[in-house]
């Protein structure tokens, strides 16, 4: 998953862009969202920020793929809970301690989410200068109005062993919607 090309000047998918925000990253089923989250994890680790990944299902987080990408998997706090709603409570506890610069939420299919469970995440991300990125699925907004940035992820093959991950922003309270980011990556051998 090593990034081999960056395109598009202007706003881009990076830790600084998602910091102090609740971000909804809509999963497209191709794995692009995981690649994009792994890039944030690596960036956080390189800048000395602790990372947590909270999941309520068999997760999309693969320690083997993460390690091949340069991520120190022993330094990622991986938390698995029994229900999707518990992902938000666990994230709140992690953020409350102030130790994490990035918290990825991987709840799987979500029932409706009460705004009350998201408000503390927004406040804590701002208080502790942290990024909270929640993976969701479907075309509709799942997390509601407290989301500061909503983006859709897409992946497509560009060439043998090379794929492109695209972020298309449909909501951005800081900059306005419509921007995007495109990155090219080398795929895992045998993937393509």
Tens-digit pLDDT profile for residues 15-62: 999 999 999 999 877 678 888 999 999 999 999 999 999 998 776 777
Mean pLDDT across the chain: 86
Q: Which residue in this structure is represented by tokens 């909503």?
A: 150
Could you tell me the fold of the domain covering 3-186? Rossmann fold (3.40.50)
The DSSP result for 29-82, as a single string, is: SSSHHHHHHHHHHHHHHHTT--EEEEESSS-S--HHHHHHTT--GGGEEEEE-S
pLDDT at site 141: 66
pLDDT in tens, 125-146: 999 999 999 998 876 667 888 9
Per-residue pLDDT, 80 = 92
Domain positions in the chain: 3-186
């Amino acid at each position: 998953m090593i990034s081999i090309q960056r395109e598009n000047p202007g706003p881009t998918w990076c830790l600084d862009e998602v910091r102090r925000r609740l971000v909804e990253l809509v999963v497209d089923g191709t794995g692009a969202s995981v690649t994009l989250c792994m890039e944030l994890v690596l960036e956080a680790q390189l800048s000395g920020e602790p990372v947590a990944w909270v999941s309520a299902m068999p997760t999309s987080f693969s320690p083997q793929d993460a390690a091949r990408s340069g991520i120190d998997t022993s330094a990622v706090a991986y938390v698995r809970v029994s229900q999707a709603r518990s992902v938000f409570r666990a994230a709140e506890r992690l953020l409350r301690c102030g130790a994490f610069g990035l918290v990825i939420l991987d709840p799987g299919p979500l029932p409706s989410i009460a705004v009350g469970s998201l408000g503390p995440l927004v406040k804590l991300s701002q208080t502790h200068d942290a990024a909270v990125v929640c993976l969701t699925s479907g075309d509709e907004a799942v997390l509601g109005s407290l989301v500061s940035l909503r983006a859709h992820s897409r992946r497509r093959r560009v060439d043998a062993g090379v794929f492109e991950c695209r972020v298309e922003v449909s909501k951005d309270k800081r900059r306005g919607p419509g921007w995007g980011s495109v990155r090219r990556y080398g795929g895992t051998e045998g993937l393509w």
